[in-house]
Amino acid sequence: MDNPDSTNAAAGTPVQERRANPELRLIFDHACEITAPFFDATQSWGGSSLTMYARQALREAFPALSQQEIAILYSGVARHHRVAATKI
Protein backbone atom coordinates (compact mmCIF):
# COMPACT_ATOMS: atom_id res chain seq x y z
CA MET A 1 0.00 0.00 0.00
CA ASP A 2 2.42 2.61 -1.21
CA ASN A 3 -0.02 5.41 -1.92
CA PRO A 4 -3.56 4.93 -0.61
CA ASP A 5 -4.74 8.04 -2.45
CA SER A 6 -3.81 6.89 -5.96
CA THR A 7 -5.78 4.40 -8.03
CA ASN A 8 -7.00 0.87 -7.70
CA ALA A 9 -4.32 -0.91 -9.76
CA ALA A 10 -6.49 -3.96 -10.45
CA ALA A 11 -9.48 -2.00 -11.72
CA GLY A 12 -7.64 1.12 -12.90
CA THR A 13 -10.17 3.33 -11.13
CA PRO A 14 -9.49 6.19 -8.70
CA VAL A 15 -9.83 5.31 -5.04
CA GLN A 16 -12.11 7.69 -3.17
CA GLU A 17 -10.63 9.04 0.06
CA ARG A 18 -12.86 7.93 2.93
CA ARG A 19 -10.97 9.49 5.82
CA ALA A 20 -12.68 12.51 7.33
CA ASN A 21 -9.61 13.98 9.08
CA PRO A 22 -6.70 14.26 6.65
CA GLU A 23 -4.87 16.58 9.08
CA LEU A 24 -4.50 13.63 11.48
CA ARG A 25 -2.68 11.70 8.77
CA LEU A 26 -0.12 14.50 8.57
CA ILE A 27 0.77 14.21 12.27
CA PHE A 28 0.38 10.43 12.60
CA ASP A 29 4.08 9.56 12.22
CA HIS A 30 5.05 12.16 14.81
CA ALA A 31 2.33 10.86 17.15
CA CYS A 32 3.72 7.33 16.79
CA GLU A 33 7.19 8.57 17.74
CA ILE A 34 5.85 10.42 20.77
CA THR A 35 3.87 7.46 22.07
CA ALA A 36 6.35 4.67 21.29
CA PRO A 37 7.82 4.54 24.83
CA PHE A 38 4.35 4.11 26.34
CA PHE A 39 3.66 1.04 24.19
CA ASP A 40 7.09 -0.55 24.72
CA ALA A 41 6.47 -3.91 26.41
CA THR A 42 9.79 -3.67 28.27
CA GLN A 43 8.72 -0.43 29.97
CA SER A 44 6.38 -0.51 32.94
CA TRP A 45 5.70 1.13 36.24
CA GLY A 46 5.38 -1.40 39.03
CA GLY A 47 4.47 -4.03 36.48
CA SER A 48 1.67 -1.92 34.97
CA SER A 49 1.57 -0.85 31.35
CA LEU A 50 2.19 2.80 30.54
CA THR A 51 -0.29 2.99 27.66
CA MET A 52 -2.70 5.13 29.69
CA TYR A 53 -0.13 7.94 29.53
CA ALA A 54 0.02 7.88 25.73
CA ARG A 55 -3.27 9.76 25.40
CA GLN A 56 -2.04 12.49 27.74
CA ALA A 57 1.20 12.77 25.77
CA LEU A 58 -0.87 13.28 22.60
CA ARG A 59 -2.97 15.99 24.31
CA GLU A 60 0.16 17.82 25.38
CA ALA A 61 1.86 17.50 21.98
CA PHE A 62 -1.20 18.55 19.98
CA PRO A 63 -3.22 21.00 22.13
CA ALA A 64 -5.19 22.33 19.15
CA LEU A 65 -6.88 18.96 18.57
CA SER A 66 -10.33 18.30 20.00
CA GLN A 67 -10.95 15.42 22.40
CA GLN A 68 -12.57 13.48 19.55
CA GLU A 69 -9.53 14.00 17.32
CA ILE A 70 -7.23 12.89 20.15
CA ALA A 71 -9.37 9.76 20.59
CA ILE A 72 -9.15 8.99 16.87
CA LEU A 73 -5.41 9.62 16.80
CA TYR A 74 -4.87 7.50 19.92
CA SER A 75 -6.87 4.66 18.42
CA GLY A 76 -4.73 4.66 15.28
CA VAL A 77 -1.48 4.97 17.21
CA ALA A 78 -2.44 2.13 19.57
CA ARG A 79 -3.26 -0.10 16.61
CA HIS A 80 0.01 0.82 14.92
CA HIS A 81 2.02 -0.14 18.00
CA ARG A 82 0.04 -3.38 18.52
CA VAL A 83 0.72 -4.47 14.94
CA ALA A 84 4.37 -3.45 15.16
CA ALA A 85 4.78 -5.49 18.35
CA THR A 86 3.44 -8.64 16.67
CA LYS A 87 5.93 -8.30 13.80
CA ILE A 88 8.94 -8.44 16.12
Query: What confidence tens digit (pLDDT) does each residue in 74-84 have?
Result: 999 999 998 88
Residue-level pLDDT at 1: 38
CA 17/CA 24 separation, integer angstroms: 14
Q: 29-58, pLDDT tens digit by residue?
A: 999 999 999 988 888 787 777 888 999 999
Q: Record the pTM.
A: 0.72
pLDDT for res 8: 54
Amino acid identity, residue 57? A
Amino acid 11: pLDDT: 61
CA–CA distance, 3 with 5 (Å, rounded to integer): 5
